[in-house]
């Protein structure tokens, strides 16, 4: 479904969460976009700080009306930037290194970081692996894995990209995150 691009949000300083999500509970993030919905099973066991941060931002409506600003076909789709250009964040960082055995395969959701950030650094931007294996080193904090709606993620991965985009990764039509809901079970 075609929609207008949302306006960039003003940069604010969100509060860093202090407590992890309740242990022993299966937590999911349901991401609703103008292209459909998908569900992420959050990895609270291995990445408690990362998942708590994402859940706190989602509960505050931080992700509502943001976009998937970057599509690298057959590699990743990336969203969660309040500025919509790949440079924004929540005003804080979490550092939680992923296990050394981490593999970024189709459907894995991880947090984006800059090349100069410490391994495991995250803010609000996340990516979903759309290729069989992104062949990335274990430097990106893992949020979880898409367990339902992977067809929606794969659809987003195939959308046409703007020709005049210097990075060659912005979709022609906006992919808007309408809402992220955090659910138990």
C-alpha 141 chain-centroid distance: 11
Give the per-residue pLDDT at 6.
85
Tell me the pLDDT tens digit for each residue of 155-181.
999 999 998 776 669 999 999 999 999
Instruction: Give residue limits of the domains in the chain.
Output: 27-184
CA distance 5 to 173: 8
Return the closest-CA partner of residue 161 out of 148, 151, 170, 150.
170
Cβ proximity of 35 and 175 under 8 Å: yes
Spatial CB neighbours of 113, under 8 Å, sequence gap ≥ 6:
119, 120, 121, 122, 139, 140, 141
pTM: 0.95
pLDDT, one tens digit for every residue, the chain (185 residues): 678 888 888 767 888 998 999 989 999 999 999 999 999 999 999 999 999 999 999 999 999 999 999 999 999 999 999 999 999 999 999 999 999 999 999 999 999 999 999 999 999 999 999 999 999 999 999 999 999 999 999 999 999 999 877 666 999 999 999 999 999 98
Return the closest-CA partner of residue 167 out of 92, 101, 76.
76
Given 2.60.260.20, 3.40.30.10, 2.40.100.10, 3.90.1150.10, which CATH number is that of 27-184? 2.40.100.10
């Amino acid at each position: 479904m075609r929609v207008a691009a949302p306006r960039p949000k003003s940069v604010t300083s969100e509060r860093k969460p202090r407590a992890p999500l309740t242990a022993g509970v299966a937590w999911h993030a349901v991401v609703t976009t103008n292209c459909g919905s998908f569900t992420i099973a959050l990895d609270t066991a291995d990445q408690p700080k990362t998942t708590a941060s994402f859940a706190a931002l989602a509960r505050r409506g931080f992700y509502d009306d943001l976009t998937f600003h970057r599509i690298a076909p057959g590699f990743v789709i990336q969203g969660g930037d309040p500025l919509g250009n790949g440079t924004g964040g929540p005003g804080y960082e979490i550092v939680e290194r992923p296990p050394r055995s981490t593999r970024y395969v189709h459907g894995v959701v991880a947090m984006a970081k800059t090349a100069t950030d410490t391994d495991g650094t995250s803010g609000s931007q996340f990516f979903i692996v759309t290729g069989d294996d992104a062949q990335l080193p274990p430097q990106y904090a893992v949020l979880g894995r898409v367990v339902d709606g992977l067809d929606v993620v794969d659809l987003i991965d195939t959308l046409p990209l703007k020709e005049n985009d210097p990075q060659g990764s912005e979709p022609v039509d906006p992919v808007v995150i309408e809402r992220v809901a955090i659910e138990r079970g």
